[in-house]
Chains A and B, each alone.
Chain A
Amino acid sequence: IAGITQAPTSQILAAGRRMTLRCTQDMRHNAMYWYRQDLGLGLRLIHYSNTAGTTGKGEVPDGYSVSRANTDDFPLTLASAVPSQTSVYFCASKPSGTTDTQYFGPGTRLTVL
């Protein structure tokens, strides 16, 4: 049972470069989420998807885009990275129904120089 996998584990990126963070889940969860974790700020929601084919903006969506072509994959793209996007990024998923419980991947540590 893999749960949620994220790739890469870590990345150092030059400012201005394009980067896609990958997230895959094998639990057939309908909803998926991207968060960034910054020291002293906890986790903040970037984008979410309630089901394949739909996406929505969270608290801090600027500079990021997502797509949800199928149930399993939810990639996060930084079109032109900036140093303020240096963070740890977590992908999460949630089964359908009334539960609010989200399950998290191991994270991607991104440094933008």
Chain B
Amino acid sequence: AQKVTQAQTEISVVEKEDVTLDCVYETRDTTYYLFWYKQPPSGELVFLIRRNSFDEQNEISGRYSWNFQKSTSSFNFTITASQVVDSAVYFCALTSYDKVIFGPGTSLSVIP
């Protein structure tokens, strides 16, 4: 069975702090994709990153970075020097041969 776990339900940080959002997944498939989406209060889900199961390179995009480790089935997301605009719900997701599976989400609040 495929499953995505985001153990942190809610996180609060003070602006400029670094924060890491955890994502652990389960799948028996050898080919799959992992994603992170951001959902601000406006409601729209915003795509942040996609990783396929054969690409374990970490990625950095501005203040955002992602750490993909197949050995631990984790795909963690770090925001450096957080800002108030980063406040949102973040979803980790997994696709395999049939559908997209979203994790339960982590609500991040960045306090000024």
A, B assembled together: no
Which residues of A approach B to under 8 Å, CB–CB? none
Which residues of B are interface residues toward A (Cβ below 8 A)?
none
